[in-house]
Amino acid sequence: MTSPSHQKAGLSAAAETSTAQVSLSAVALVFLKLGTIAFGGPAAHIAMMEDEFVTRRHWLTPEQFLDRLGAANLMPGPSSTEMAIFIGYEKRGWPGLLVAGCAFLLPAAIMVGAIASAYVRYGTLPQVNGILYALKPVVIAVIIQAFWKLARTAMKSIWLAVVGSVAALLYVLRVHEVLLLAIAAALAGAPMLYEKLTRLRKTTAGVLTLPKLTHLLGAAGAVAIPVGPWRLFLVFAKIGAVLFGSGYVLLAFLRADLVDRLHWLSERQLLDAVAVGQVTPGPVFTTATFIGYIIGGVPGAVVATVGIFAPGFVYVALSGFLIPRIRRSRVAASMLDGVVVGSLALMGVVAWQLGRVAIIDVPTLVIAGISAALLLRFQVNSAWLIVVAGAFGWLYRG
């Protein structure tokens, strides 16, 4: 039997490994790879990051990864991109923050820009149905693998498991994601807060300060119809700064600003843009690249992309130093645990919802089952599964 001292030494060694220094080029290369193969939306992206940085490379401990995930879910903007920025900052500071975020975005932005160029020239989207047919079940398996591994770390108590179950139920009942995470934080922190209030009441001393999260929930959008680089940047920066939720929420923001208010796009162009953002790897926010190209060519694509992603870099830069401080407060740390299990509840429900769409017949069921078995039992790299599934889909349904 391993002694407590040996266990402690092992944990210390693991912590040292997880925070070991890595080169900036290594950060760039791994995020370029992820940005090229990360199909399936934020839940799948985060699952791939967990496999890459916790299981394979040991750049982060499970606890560190979950803390960053909780913080990313509390901020507006694309959560998977913010996770990439967090990890880059954790490993290489400010240069890593910029390199990781840009490397993760670059492949998708280039692909979406190329598709936008073909779209403007030919007026239609390339057909990728066969590839997506086989790719979606693999993505579901990747999400299941990450959910299983992260849940074992996050569920530190029966009470946190209850909080996660409540969060999942609230999400099914269509409670807004931000409100859901706030409820999970309150429920998780309630026992510790009660204990602290009781202790303060007995000592009649001390002041309790709770963390307060404030967000700029609105900003005036551009109201003039003419398009200019600065105005285009401000419109997309506003969306990136205030948007919580999925690509469908992004669709609502884009429609309100670009179709109804500014008349820069037609309904069909907007739907095509969102479709391209969802079927290409990387964050769905690269929809902005497509729209920027339609509106202003290559300069417009660059301006729109920078505009919608810039707030995420700012949020992570401002919040990165807060997480260790939060962990030092028992009440705040317990609330962060609640945010973490709430985020996992979102991942679990999203996996179920996407699975009902992705697994539609016997071949997709077989693909999902084999992929899940290879990932959970043999720890196969998800990148290989994506390549093989994409080739199979191209041949089978292309």
Q: Are 157 and 337 in contact (CB under 8 A)?
A: no
Tell whether the model's pLDDT for residue 13 goes beyond 50.
no
The pLDDT assigned to 302 comes to 96
Least confident interval from 13-22, 155-164, 324-333: 13-22
Q: In percent, how much of the chain has pLDDT > 90? A: 32
Sequence-distant contacts of 211-216: CB under 8 A, at least 24 apart: 211/326, 211/329, 211/332, 211/335, 213/74, 215/76, 215/242, 216/241, 216/242
Please report where in the chains the tokens 């949020």 appear, as a residue. Answer: 315
Domain ranges of the chain: 18-123+130-398
**381: burial class by Cβ within 10 Å (0-12, 13-18, 19+)?**
middle
* Alpha-helical runs (H) found in 255-329: 267-279, 287-319, 322-328
- Indicate the pLDDT class of residue 216, thresholds 50, 70 and 90: very low
- Indicate the pLDDT class of residue 366, thresholds 50, 70 and 90: very high
pLDDT tens-digit series, residues 286-305: 989 999 999 999 999 999 99
Chain centroid to Cα 46, Å, comes to: 6
The pLDDT assigned to 223 comes to 41
Reported as type and span, the H/E element at residue 68 is helix 62-74
The pLDDT assigned to 317 comes to 87
Q: Are 339 and 184 in contact (CB under 8 A)?
A: yes
Least confident interval from 68-72, 134-138, 246-250: 246-250
Residue 184's nearest CA partner among 347, 344, 61, 69 is: 344
The average pLDDT across 302-310 equals 96
Calpha distance 383→138 (Å, rounded)? 10
Tell whether the model's pLDDT for residue 146 goes beyond 80.
no
Two tokens at 249?
Answer: 């929420």
Tell whether the model's pLDDT for residue 36 goes beyond 80.
yes
Of residues 240 and 17, the one with the higher pLDDT is 240
The answer for 93, left when phi > 0, alpha when psi is -120 to 50, beta otherwise, is left
pLDDT tens-digit series, residues 352-365: 887 887 888 999 99
Reported as type and span, the H/E element at residue 232 is helix 229-242
The pLDDT assigned to 244 comes to 60
The average pLDDT across 210-232 equals 52
Within a 10 A sphere around the Cβ of 245, how many other Cβ atoms? 14
pTM: 0.65
Of residues 233 and 174, the one with the higher pLDDT is 233
Tell whether the model's pLDDT for residue 8 goes beyond 50.
no
